Amino acid sequence: MRRIRITVAYDGTEFHGWQVQPGLSTIQGWLEKAIAEIEGAPVHVHGSGRTDAGVHALGQVAAFTLENPIPVDNLRKAINRLLPKAIRVLDTTEVTSEFHPRFNSKQKTYEYRIWRAEICPPMRRLYVYHYPYPLDVGLMEQLAPLFEGEHDFSAFAAADEKDALGASKVRKIYLSKLWHDKHEVVFHVCGSGFLKHMVRMMVGALVEAGKGNLSREELLARLAPGFEGKAGPAMPASGLTLLSVEY
């Protein structure tokens, strides 16, 4: 048996997220369907994590096991021929049987983009959150680094079926930076791992601060253990892209 690691890019607009769901079009579902056709048997594809419906990726990492001896470059071409054009396998590499894209990952980097001009270009609308209203972007830039370090992100997580397991919601953020680029506000965050809707809620808290609804002290309180309630609204999925996964 061979263990294959792949890097996948996708436009998440028309998909119901990464994870297989009965009767719905998902990234994992399409990959498993394509690879199973090549293998001639069912194949399970493990991802580095689950992206939500509408979220995009430039560097998602996944892995699977198969017996087919096809060379990795030909395997990449064969998979892409069977996938929708909105999903592309960028590279394929043979790895050791122990490799797991989720458990072996060391950090992930996400990007969120907000379009600030009155009119959002049609070609950008699926990849940004359009917000043409007043925002104190300078304050948002100052507050973004407060996420760096190790914090309890319970207030920045949506309900998840895994909550019943009582797993820790402490995560370590290595970089949290926001800046203004012409008509866009860009937020980059790199961390050890992320909870469901975590990045979108981090951006939501910064937007609330930019609106004047959230102070520095109030943001810090949301990062403290025991905070009751949620930090802020989860911003729309369209503005979020998984940039890379590091090992």
- The predicted-structure confidence for 108-149, as pLDDT tens digits, reads as follows 999 999 999 999 999 999 999 999 999 999 999 999 999 999
What does the pLDDT average to over 75-90? Answer: 98
Least confident range of 38-42, 55-59, 67-71, 156-160:
156-160
Q: What type of residue sits at position 111?
A: E
As a whole number, mean pLDDT of residues 192-205 equals: 96
Supply the pLDDT for residue 163: 66
Record the tokens describing residue 4, joined without a space: 């294959």
The rounded mean pLDDT for the chain is 95
Give the CATH class of 107-246: alpha beta
Nearest-angstrom CA–CA distance, 143 and 175: 12
Helix ranges restricted to H, the chain: 27-39, 72-82, 137-143, 198-211, 216-222
Please provide the size of the chain in residues: 247
Q: Percentage of the chain with pLDDT > 70?
A: 98
Architecture per CATH, 2-95: 2-Layer Sandwich (3.30)
Active-site residue, 136 included: no
From the list 52, 91, 136, 152, the catalytic residue is 52
Helix (H) or strand (E) holding 185: strand 184-191
Q: In this model, does residue 57 exceed pLDDT 80?
A: yes
- DSSP-derived secondary structure for 153-168: -GGG----GGGGGT--
- Contact partners, residue 76, CB within 8 Å, separation at least 6: 6, 89, 90, 91, 92
C-alpha dist (Å) from residue 5 to 2, 119, 182, 233, 242? 10, 41, 37, 35, 17
Which pTM does this prediction carry?
0.95
**Helix 27-39 and helix 72-82: axis angle, to 10°?**
120
pLDDT tops 90 at residue 36: yes
pLDDT at 56: 98
CATH 3.30.70.660 maps onto the chain at: 107-246
The position carrying tokens 């190790």 is: 150
pLDDT given for residue 167 in this prediction: 82
- Asked whether the predicted pLDDT for residue 84 surpasses 70, the reply is yes
pLDDT band at 46 (very low <50, low <70, confident <90, very high): very high
Question: Is the CA virtual torsion 50, 56, 61, 62 positive or negative?
Answer: positive
With a cut of 90, say whether residue 51 has pLDDT above it.
yes
The ranges of the chain annotated as CATH 3.30.70.580 are 2-95
pLDDT digits (tens, 9 = 90+) for 93-109: 999 999 999 999 999 99
Segment 63-79 mean pLDDT? 97
